[in-house]
Amino acid sequence: MNRARLIFHLDMNSFFASVEIAHDPTLKGKPVAIAGNPEERRGIIVTSSYEARAKGVKTTMPIWQAKKLCPTLLILRPNGDRYRAASKALFDILFTYTPLVEQVSIDEGYLDLTSYLKEIHPMLLAVNIQKRILEELKLPCSIGISPNKFLAKMASDMKKPNGITILRKRDIENKLWPLPIEEMHGIGKRTVEKWRKLGLSMIGDLAKADKELLMRKFGERGLVLQERANGHDGRPVNPHAYSVYKSIGHSSTLRSDTKNRQMIRATFDDLAKRVHLRLRKKEMFAKGVQITIRYHDWKMITRSRKLVNPIQSPDDLMREANILFEKAWNGEAVRLLGISTYDLLEKKYAYKQLDLFTYQEDIKQEEIDKTMNELRERFGEDIVRKGWKKQEEE
């Protein structure tokens, strides 16, 4: 039997910048951005205050470009300890309302507040939570109120900053369906054109699309997204979900013990691709890589490496794995190899310290990675192969 649910999605507004403003009130009302190496005009914008955004400053924009748009922009270095402390204080507050709190990221979470349905109007409850966070932490947030997680997420994005939005199932035809497809949670930026080419440019188009077409073009994921577009989402709020992604990795037992470098490299190449796919699916990047080597005599060792810049691409994972392997391998026959990633962070927080003279190459490489991923998704993993591997198979 279906029962009414009350789900909130709470999203902090310009979290890193807001934490800095709360720490230093003299910054209030000024254009503020968080980025690396501000003195050298290197790095990219991680996040910015709404005053900066009004001047055109955007996340992932190179600092020099942001400064050009907003000469008075105040750029601060990221302070991870400060942000983690603010996040802990935020979720400590949320857990006083319900044990059913699902942390999605450092500044975002769902709350199942169904138990309050007969006690207080949802809007009054949201106002209470929003006001308490502002008074105790000096931090602004937006809250979406709905009967499920998807609609709550969509609702919280509708009014920022300091917004509270109720999105009921009966509202979706008027409030949700007219939105462009790229604004739907779950639709990746790199697939927007694919949806548009099928004539699905609005969320309403997806809601009413032919199921066979969706299955053929997007598989089961297409049908799930259609369900969401129609307001259906039965996922529970899971208090343990956030801790699941502390690390992502894969290992593989070789068909036979080997010292063959080409076989070892091919195994690492396969593992790097598999780890990359899982990271990309979860929209996570890694600041740490670890390899596992199990030798023919079952002796096992691990070696890890912390990185300056977060990575996700198979080439980057392969490179780091090879560096670790070359330092660790004792020359004996190998039985099992593994690559795992740790110190994970969400894509939107995975800022890179870009050099002023090389950022264009980095952007170009990102476009190449996107194209290769699209080819793999459409035609399978083997459609794009490195030259040495292709030669090996011929």
What tens digit of pLDDT does each residue of 336-360 get? 899 999 888 877 666 654 433 344 4
Q: What is the pLDDT of residue 175?
A: 96
Three-state secondary-structure class, residue 290:
strand
Q: Which of 21, 77, 58, 49 is nearest to 66 (CA)?
A: 58
b/e sequence 367-390, b meaning 16+ C-beta within 10 Å: eebeeebeebbeeeeeeeeeeeee
Residue 248: other Cβ atoms inside 10 A: 21
**Binding residue per annotation — 107?**
yes
pLDDT band at 332 (very low <50, low <70, confident <90, very high): very high
At 375 the pLDDT is 54
Pick the CATH number of 242-353 from 3.30.1280.10, 3.90.1150.10, 3.50.7.10, 3.30.1490.100: 3.30.1490.100
> Using 50, 70 and 90 to split pLDDT, how confident is the model at 204?
very high
Q: What percent of the chain has pLDDT over 70?
A: 85
Task: Name which of 160-164, 209-213, 309-313, 356-360 the model is least confident about.
Answer: 356-360
DSSP state of 235: P
Interval 228-260: pLDDT, tens: 999 999 999 988 776 556 678 888 888 899 999
Residues contacting residue 253 through CB under 8 Å, at least 6 positions apart: 335, 336
Cβ-proximal residues to 357 (8 Å cutoff; 6+ apart), any chain = none
Separation between Cα atoms, residue 62 and residue 136, nearest integer Å: 34
Q: Please give the pLDDT value at position 374.
A: 55
Asked if the model's pLDDT at residue 391 lies above 50, the reply is no
Output the pLDDT for position 60.
82
Instruction: Domain 168-240: state its class.
Output: mainly alpha
- Average pLDDT score, the chain: 86
Q: What is the mean pLDDT of residues 32-43?
A: 72
Q: CB–CB of 346/283 below 8 Å?
A: yes
Domain-by-domain residue ranges, the chain? 1-166, 168-240, 242-353, 362-394
Which of the following CATH numbers is that of domain 1-166: 3.30.1280.10, 3.20.20.450, 1.10.3720.10, 3.30.70.270? 3.30.70.270
Q: Which residues are catalytic?
A: 108
pLDDT at 389: 37
Task: Report the percentage of the chain scoring pLDDT > 90.
Answer: 61
At 244 the pLDDT is 57
CA angle 145, 177, 109 (to 5 degrees): 30
Q: Round to whole Å and give the CA distance between 208 and 229.
A: 9
pLDDT band per the 50, 70, 90 thresholds, residue 379: low
Q: What is the pLDDT of residue 385?
A: 45
pLDDT-derived band at 386 (thresholds 50, 70, 90) equals very low
Q: Mean per-residue pLDDT for 153-180?
A: 95
The response to whether 343 counts as a known ligand-binding position is: no
- Per the CB < 8 A criterion, the answer to whether 291 and 368 are in contact is no
- pLDDT band of 384, cuts 50, 70, 90: very low
Give per-residue pLDDT as tens, 16-37: 999 999 999 999 999 999 987 6
Question: At which residue do the structure tokens 């997420």 appear?
Answer: 153
pTM of the model: 0.68
pLDDT class of 157 with cuts at 50, 70, 90: very high
Say whether pLDDT at 108 is over 90: yes
Would you state the pLDDT for residue 281? Answer: 85
